[in-house]
Amino acid sequence: MPPRLNGTLEPSGAPWYERLFANQLCSVVIGVGFDEYGSNRPQDYVVESGLIARGFVRDDHRAIEKLTAAGRPPPTRKAAHYIATAAARDAGGRPVDVVVTLTLAGDGYAGGDVASAFLEGLGRCDVAMYGGHGRYGTGPDFDYNFTADLLDDKGNVEASFSEYKDLEEYLQDRGRAKKRSALAEYRDLVAKRRLVIHRINSGNLVINLRNYHTSEFGAHLMVDQLKSDPNIRRMSKQVFDRRYRLWLFHGCRTHDYFYNLRTLNPKANAGGLDLLGTRRVVYWSHIGNTLLKLLDELMQRRTFSEILHGLSSVNPENPSDGAKGPSHVADLGKRP
């Protein structure tokens, strides 16, 4: 098993609110990733309507003015910016305005651009939250991953796949007669050049290329095709200034990200970086409410323990998926 950090269910203390709310402003980026079956779209709506219900209004121009006035870097990438006045209070009881930048993968058509806007938000915002596929521990994703063409013996395309679950289902069917797993069938077809993978990785932000789920076909496909792409965006290449940040990655088993975020991103850790992630599978239908829940908890200056409890409350256990207990864990950084 590759080295990993599991995070803790019992974190002490609270987010560094003095930094998050400095100059009476808090900047937040919320990213909702992509799903090949469109399950992200209802969650886009949940987040957008949830912001409005909390008193946020979309005002790109004013949001950028507020960010600049409070000494926060302004965004340069295209995204939607919402602002809420006096949504929180700082330690002195003074009102804190909150600017939320929304980066939504939508139909994945412009996934690369959305990924760029979210990546920019990871750097410039006090808080970053991602909800979407964990992509088997590899990182957030804002578009399709690949197309796989199945060729006949003359090189004609017999079938084309753009989603790993489709491909897995097909290979599982095909392998049954030969008593082979989907993975064995995949390896065999790739070796014979009967299955050709075309990568689409512009929407991936790659945190990790270790395979933490070697029993799962999708994990092999995901890691293999990302590893073979020299142009992927690795988080380890990103430059972050020295500043406190809080990041939530809400996808399946995103504690897989922790080890690399700590060991391969020294610049992100230099100013103190608190990480929240999941310790089990989660479900699309809970994503929007999870992101909004963290926003609510932060605005109320909750402790980490309270935050984990709150996140679990909107991600109830499903006895059938084998993972029991709270949904989220924390891995807290060292404050300078």
Partner 1 sequence: MPSTHDDNLDARLQAFAASPSPAEARAIAALHDPRALPALVQAMVDEMEGPDAVAYREAVRELATPAVLADYMGGDVASRRVAAHALNARYPEHVPLIARGLRDDDDQVRAICRRSLRSWSASPALHDLFLEALQHADARVRLLAAEGLGKLGKPADLPALNAALQAESDDRVRDRLAWAVERIEGSEDSP
Q: Does 288 bind partner 1 (CB under 8 A)?
A: no
Distance CA 250, CA 288 (A): 10
Q: Does 146 bind partner 1 (CB under 8 A)?
A: no
DSSP assignment string, 295-313: HHHHHTT--HHHHHHHHHH
Element at 198 (helix H, strand E): strand 195-199
Q: Does 136 bind partner 1 (CB under 8 A)?
A: yes
Residue choice 31, 140, 218, 272 for contact with partner 1 (CB under 8 A): 218
Residue 83 or residue 105: which is nearer to partner 1 going by CB? 105
Binding part of the chain for partner 1, among 61-69, 114-122, 152-160, 225-233 by CB under 8 A, reads 152-160
Q: Where are the beta strands (DSSP E) in 62-190?
A: 80-89, 95-104, 127-131, 146-151, 157-161
Distance CA 286, CA 228 (A): 33
Q: Does 37 bind partner 1 (CB under 8 A)?
A: yes
Name 38's Cβ contacts closer than 8 Å, sequence gap at least 6: 107
Q: Does 238 bind partner 1 (CB under 8 A)?
A: no
Binding mask 172-191 for partner 1 (x = CB under 8 A): x---------x---------
Least separation in angstroms between residue 335's CB and partner 1 is: 33
At 274 the three-state DSSP class reads strand
Q: Do 80 and 58 meet the contact criterion of CB atoms below 8 Å apart?
A: yes
Q: In one letter, which amino acid is 219? A: A
Residue 65 or residue 163: which is nearer to partner 1 going by CB? 163
Residues in the interface with partner 1 (CB under 8 A) total 44
Distance CA 101, CA 129 (A): 10
Least separation in angstroms between residue 37's CB and partner 1 is: 5
Binding part of the chain for partner 1, among 72-80, 117-125, 134-142, 301-309 by CB under 8 A, reads 134-142
Q: Does 207 bind partner 1 (CB under 8 A)?
A: no
Q: What is the DSSP letter of 319?
A: G
Residue 103 or residue 315: which is nearer to partner 1 going by CB? 315
Rounded to the nearest 10 degrees, the angle between the axes of helix 164-176 and helix 182-191 is 90
Name 310's Cβ contacts closer than 8 Å, sequence gap at least 6: 293, 294, 296, 297, 302
Q: Does 45 bind partner 1 (CB under 8 A)?
A: no
Q: What are phi and psi of 247, to 5 degrees?
A: -120, 135
Binding part of the chain for partner 1, among 7-15, 87-95, 144-152, 294-302 by CB under 8 A, reads 144-152
Residue choice 61, 93, 215, 334 for contact with partner 1 (CB under 8 A): 215
Binding part of the chain for partner 1, among 57-65, 83-91, 160-168, 259-267 by CB under 8 A, reads 160-168
Q: Does 153 bind partner 1 (CB under 8 A)?
A: no
Residue choice 4, 19, 41, 301 for contact with partner 1 (CB under 8 A): 41
Residue 13 CB neighbours (<10 A): 12
Q: Do 32 and 290 meet the contact criterion of CB atoms below 8 Å apart?
A: no
Q: In one letter, which amino acid is 307? A: I
Binders of partner 1 among residues 296 to 325 (CB under 8 A) are: 318-321
Q: Do 83 and 61 meet the contact criterion of CB atoms below 8 Å apart?
A: no
Least separation in angstroms between residue 221's CB and partner 1 is: 11
Distance CA 143, CA 36 (A): 8
Residue choice 90, 97, 141, 168 for contact with partner 1 (CB under 8 A): 168
Tokens at 232, concatenated: 């992927």
Least separation in angstroms between residue 226's CB and partner 1 is: 15
Binding site for partner 1 (CB under 8 A): 35-39, 41, 107, 109, 133-136, 144, 147, 149, 156-163, 165-166, 168-170, 172, 182, 215-216, 218, 251-252, 281-285, 318-321
